[in-house]
Amino acid sequence: MKRFFAIALGVLTAIGGFVDIGDIVANGEAGARFGITHAWVLLVGVFGICAYAEMSGRVSAVSGRPVFDLVRERLGPRVALANLTGSLLVTVLTLGAELGGVGLALQLATSVNYLLWVPVVAFVLWAALWRAKFSVLENVFGLTGLVLIVFVIAFFRLHADTGGLWHQATHPGPPHGEDWGTYWFFAVALFASALTPYEVFFFSSGAVEERWTSRDLITSRVNVFVGFPLGGLLAFAIMLTSATVFHPLSTSVDSLSQVALPAALALGKLGLAAAILGFFAATFGAAMETGLSAGYTVAQYFGWNWGKLRRPREAARFHTVVLVSILVGVAVLLTTIDPIQLTEYTLVFSAVALPLTYLPILVVANDRDYLGDRVNGRLANALGLIYLIIVLIAAVAAIPLMIITRMGGG
Amino acid sequence: MEPSTSTTSRVVIAAVAVVALWAGFAYDVSRPADARRYQRTLAQAAESAHDAAQTAALVGELELAGKVTRLFATAAFDDATKSLAGAEQKFASQGPPDSASAARRDELGLLLSAAVTALGDTAEADDDNRLRGEVGRLKDVAARLDDFVEAQR
Q: What is the mean pLDDT of chain A?
A: 92
State the nearest Cα–Cα gap between A110 and chain B, in angstroms. 6
Please give the pLDDT value at position B3.
58
Q: For residue B102, report the phi and psi dihedrals to the nearest 5 degrees.
A: -65, -35
What pLDDT sits at residue B2?
57
Give the minimum alpha-carbon distance from B134 to chain A in angstroms, rounded to a whole number: 19
What does the alpha-carbon distance between residue A302 and residue A168 come to, in Å, rounded to a whole number? Answer: 49
The answer to whether residues B91 and B53 belong to one domain is: yes
pLDDT reading at A27 higher than 90: yes
Q: Which of A255, A264, A403 sits opposite B68 (nearest CB)?
A: A264
Please give the torsion angle defined by the CA atoms of residues A78, A79, A83 and A89, in that order, rounded to the nearest 10 degrees: 30
Report pLDDT digits (tens) over A150-178.
Answer: 999 999 999 999 999 999 999 999 998 89
Q: Give, in order, the Cα–Cα distances in Å from A77 to each of A302, A366, B4, B135.
A: 9, 19, 22, 61
Contact A403 B71 (CB under 8 A): no
On whether both B20 and B63 belong to a single domain, the answer is: no
Q: Does B37 touch chain A (CB under 8 A)?
A: no
Which residues of chain B register pLDDT less than 70?
Answer: 1-5
Q: Express the helix, strand and coil content of chain A in percent, nearest 5 each.
A: 85, 0, 15
Contact A107, B75 (CB under 8 A): yes
Say whether A264 and B44 touch across the interface (CB within 8 A): no
Residues A265, B51: C-beta atoms closer than 8 Å: no
Asked if pLDDT for residue A7 goes beyond 80, the answer is no
> Three-state SS for A254?
coil
Please tell me if residue B81 touches chain A, with a CB cutoff of 8 Å.
no
Give chain A's contact residues with B (Cβ, < 8 Å).
Answer: 107-111, 177, 245, 249-252, 254-258, 260-261, 264-265, 268-269, 272, 276, 403, 409-410
Q: What is the least distance, in Å, from the CA of B91 to any CA of chain A?
A: 14
B76 lies in the same domain as B104: yes
Residue among B67, B82, B146 minimizing CB distance to A269: B67
Backbone angles phi, psi at B126, to 5 degrees: -105, 0
Question: From CA A121, how far away is CA A167, in angstroms rounded?
Answer: 42
* Interchain CB contact of B59 with A (< 8 Å): yes
Q: Do B72 and A272 touch (CB under 8 A)?
A: yes
Give the span between the Cα atoms of A94 and A96, in whole angstroms. Answer: 5
* B72 with A276: Cβ contact below 8 A: yes
For A178, nearest residue in chain B (alpha carbons): B153
Q: What is the tens place of the pLDDT at every residue in A350-363?
A: 999 999 889 989 99
Question: What is the DSSP code (8-state) at residue A397?
Answer: H
User: What residue segments make up the domains of chain A, in order of their start?
Assistant: 19-168+175-404
Which pLDDT band, with edges at 50, 70 and 90, does A248 fall under?
A: very high
B27's CB contacts (< 8 A; 6+ apart) are none
| Torsion angles phi and psi, residue A277, rounded to 5 | -60, -40
Considering the four listed CATH numbers 1.10.10.410, 3.20.20.70, 1.20.1740.10, 3.40.980.10, the one that applies to the domain covering A19-168+175-404 is 1.20.1740.10
pLDDT-based confidence at A260, cuts 50/70/90?
very high
| pLDDT greater than 60 at residue A76 | yes
Closest residue of chain A to B80, computed from CA coordinates: A255
* Pick from A138-142, A339-343, A396-400: least confident: A138-142
Tell me: do B84 and B110 sit in the same domain: yes
Q: Is B71's Cβ below 8 Å from some Cβ in A? A: yes
Query: Å from B127 to nearest chain A CA?
Result: 19
Distances (CA, A) of A389 to A350, A354, A382: 16, 11, 11
Q: Do B25 and A403 touch (CB under 8 A)?
A: yes
On whether any CB of chain A is under 8 Å from the CB of B89, the answer is no
Q: Which of A279, A277, A323, A317 is nearest to A300 (CA)?
A: A317
**Spatial distance between the Cα atoms of A116 and A106, rounded to a whole number of angstroms:** 10
B interface mutation test: which of A114, A117, A179, A261 has the most B CBs within 10 A? A261
Both B20 and B90 in a single domain?
A: no
Q: Return the pLDDT at A133.
A: 85
Q: Would you say the C-alpha torsion A330, A332, A334, A336 has a positive or negative sign?
A: negative
Residue A132 in this model has a pLDDT that exceeds 90: no
Q: Assess whether B23 and B77 both reside in one domain.
A: no
B59 with B41, same domain: the answer is: yes
Distance CA A100, CA A73 (A): 36
Whole-number Cα distances in Å, A257 to A105, A242, A382, B23, B75:
8, 12, 41, 38, 7
Which comes out higher in pLDDT, residue B48 or A307?
A: B48
Nearest chain A residue to B90 by CA distance is A409
Question: What stretch of H or E contains A158?
Answer: none
For B15, the 3-state DSSP assignment is helix
Q: Is the pLDDT of residue A225 over 80?
A: yes
The total number of structural domains in chain B stands at 2
pLDDT score of A2 more than 70: no
B72 and B42 housed in the same domain:
yes
Residue B66: give its domain's CATH number: 1.20.120
Residue A390: predicted pLDDT: 96
Please report the number of interchain residue pairs, chain A to chain B, with beta-carbon separation below 8 angstroms: 72
Handedness of CA A141, A144, A148, A149 (dihedral sign): positive
Q: Is residue A6's pLDDT more than 80?
A: no
Q: Is the domain of B26 the same as that of B99?
A: no
B73: buried, middle or exposed (CB in 10 Å: 19+, 13-18, 0-12)?
A: buried
Q: Which residue, A84, A56, A329, A344, is CA-closest to A193? A: A344
B78 to chain A, any CB pair closer than 8 A? The answer is yes
- Both B62 and B102 in one domain: the answer is yes
- State the average pLDDT over residues A333-351: 94
The residues near A162 (Cβ < 8 Å, ≥ 6 apart) are none
B83 and B27 within one domain: no
Same domain for B23 and B74: no
Kindly tell me if the per-residue pLDDT of A313 is higher than 80: yes
pLDDT greater than 60 at residue A264 = yes
Contacts of A257 in chain B (CB under 8 A): 59, 72, 75-76, 79
Q: Confirm or reject contact between B153 and chain A (CB < 8 A).
A: yes
Q: Whole-angstrom Cα distance, residue B53 to residue A24?
A: 22
Give the amino acid at A190.
L
Q: Which domain holds residue B148?
A: 34-152
Mean pLDDT of A222-241: 92
Residue B54 contacts A where some CB pair is shorter than 8 Å: yes
Which site among B28, B69, B152 would you substitute to test the A interface, given the most A Cβ atoms closer than 10 Å to its Cβ? B69
pLDDT for the residue A32: 97
pLDDT in the model for residue B27: 80
Q: Above pLDDT 90, what percent of chain A?
A: 71
Handedness of CA A345, B83, A145, A161 (dihedral sign): negative
pLDDT at A87 over 80: yes
The torsion angle over the Cα atoms of residues B39, B40, B42 and B43, rounded to 10 degrees, is 120
Residue A149 near residue A19 (C-beta atoms within 8 A): no
Q: What is the pLDDT of residue A394?
A: 96
